[in-house]
Structure formats: structure tokens, C-alpha cells
Amino acid sequence: MKKLIILCLITSVFISCKNKSETDNTRETVDTNVPSPFLEVGCYAYKGHNNSIELKITEMNDMVAGYLNYHLAEKDANTGTFRGIVDDDVLLAEYTFQSEGTTSKREVIFKVINDELIEGYGEMDAEGTHFRNTDHVSFSSTMPLTKTDCNH
């Protein structure tokens, strides 16, 4: 009799674990990389105070890709391409660029705030190529990018 009770108990535990596993597998997944309604293929730019930043999105599928150019006063120009993802209203991308004949890579991050792209700044790793923690990036740029005509 004890063997029968133990067998029933083990069977009950096995069945309840199997049902929980099946339930967990049937949950609906939510895609967190859905592009922001503001971001779309096209151009975004800032011009002022002898500075300009131009970001052109050429591809928006699973990845967002395009061109990014910085022409900042008293600094070397950077021109290159980016490829990244959009998570909620944040674009995080790897920027491959040329500056003074040298090719470099670093992460860039932009957040959609009030229909503008605001670049984020934060602590970088030892190489200066990736953010240490994207949750601690500050989005308080004085050079907001707005949607613009690509033929300017």
C-alpha cells in the first residue's frame, strides 16, 4: 500500500511539473525590438553653433542601419556607418567611422524624446568603445537631431 501511495505521489508531481512546463512554453512572446513610431528610414540632423550631426537611417528591419557623420567645432570630423537595435525608444548601435584616416568603432546611443533624437553619454569601458552600463546613460544633449529632408 505504501508503494502505491508513493507511486501516485511521484506521478502527481511529475504531471504537475509537466503541465507547468507546457504552460510556460505557450506564453505569448513580446518583441522588445519594435522600432519607435518616430524613427523611420530617412534623415535626422542638428546644425548650429558651428556643429552638425547627420544621421541617415537606410534600413529598419531586425537591425537598424545607416550613416552617421559628426562635424563638431574644434574637433576632427567623424564619418561612418552604424548598425544596431531599437529597444522601446532607444537606438543602440555600433558606429564604425573614419577620422584623420583611421578607422575606429564605438557604441552610440540615441533616445527619442519629444520627436527628437537625443544622443546619450555615459561611462565607457577601458577601451572607450562600449558603454559600461546603458541603464546609466544620460540623455541631455544640447544638439537634438530632428527629422529632415535627406536632399539638403
pLDDT by residue, tens only, the chain of 152 residues: 444 444 444 444 445 544 444 444 443 433 444 445 568 899 999 999 999 999 999 999 889 999 999 999 999 999 999 999 999 899 999 999 999 999 999 999 999 988 899 999 999 999 999 999 999 999 987 899 999 998 76
Under a CB-based contact definition with an 8 Å cutoff, are residues 108 and 85 in contact? Answer: no
Q: What's the number of domains the chain is made of?
A: 1
- What the block records as the C-alpha cell of 58 is 537606410
Residues contacting residue 124 through CB under 8 Å, at least 6 positions apart: 106, 107, 130, 131, 132
Q: 80, 102, 103: which is closest to 93 by C-alpha?
A: 80
Q: Is 102 inside a domain boundary?
A: yes
Say how far apart CA 72 and CA 66 lie, in whole Å.
Answer: 20
Residue 123 included in any domain: yes
Residue 106 lies in a domain: yes
Q: Is residue 10 part of a domain?
A: no
User: Looking at the DSSP assignment, which residues form a beta bridge with residue 110?
Assistant: 91, 119
